[in-house]
Amino acid sequence: MADVFSKQKRSQVMAAIRSTGNRATELKLAAIFRAHGITGWRRCQRLPGKPDFVFRKQRLAVFVDGCFWHGCRWHCRMPESNCDYWQLKINRNKQRDRATTKQLRQAGWHVLRFWEHALQSHELVALKTISQLRRGGAKD
């Protein structure tokens, strides 16, 4: 189907759209934390890369990476149209993720990243988080 807008107008429309984060996956991770008694996390903290969850006391930043937007090797399916654009976009996202992780680690933070599809394994996500929190000095 042909686009109803010119290329320039489509660019303006897309530039005006602002991300509010992937609320569904963030809420799912919050539910996992609550179900397993994981406390002390905050959201919307001002840190490089805008982590989805932050445990300040343990200096742990937690990200939930969407399978499409962050290029999951198992679940990322590239659109059939405009392939070059999407490949570049996903590669830039992956590059930015690596740079963010490096920047946070250099600042003394621990970084934990979960793929969107990993949130189906509640126990595994909870165990990894608890393990990382204990390494950061958290008490039960």
Q: Is 12 contained in some domain?
A: no
Q: Which tokens in the block code for residue 33?
A: 């934390």
Residue 54 phi, psi dihedral angles, 5° rounding: -130, 130
Q: Is 29 contained in some domain?
A: yes
Question: CATH number of the domain that 130 lies in?
Answer: 3.40.960.10
Q: Is 6 contained in some domain?
A: no
- With vertex at residue 28, the alpha carbon angle to CA 110 and CA 39, rounded to the nearest 5 degrees, is 50
Q: Is 18 contained in some domain?
A: no
CB contact at 8 A, 91 and 80: no
| Structural domain total, the chain | 1
H or E element that contains 30: helix 23-35
- Tell me the residue range of the domain where 94 lies: 23-135
Q: Is 140 contained in some domain?
A: no
Note down pLDDT in tens along the chain; length 140 residues: 567 778 787 777 666 665 555 678 899 999 999 999 999 999 988 999 999 999 999 999 999 998 887 778 777 777 778 888 888 989 999 999 999 999 999 999 999 999 999 999 999 999 999 999 998 754 43
Q: Is 51 contained in some domain?
A: yes
Q: Is 113 contained in some domain?
A: yes
Q: CA-CA distances (angstroms) from residue 57 to 41, 103, 104, 120?
A: 9, 18, 15, 27
Q: Kindly give the interhelix angle for 122-135 and 23-35, rounded to the nearest 10 degrees.
A: 70
In terms of phi and psi (left: phi > 0; alpha: psi -120 to 50; beta: otherwise), the region of 51 is beta
Q: Is 4 contained in some domain?
A: no
pLDDT tens digits, 56-89: 999 999 999 988 877 787 777 777 788 888 889 8
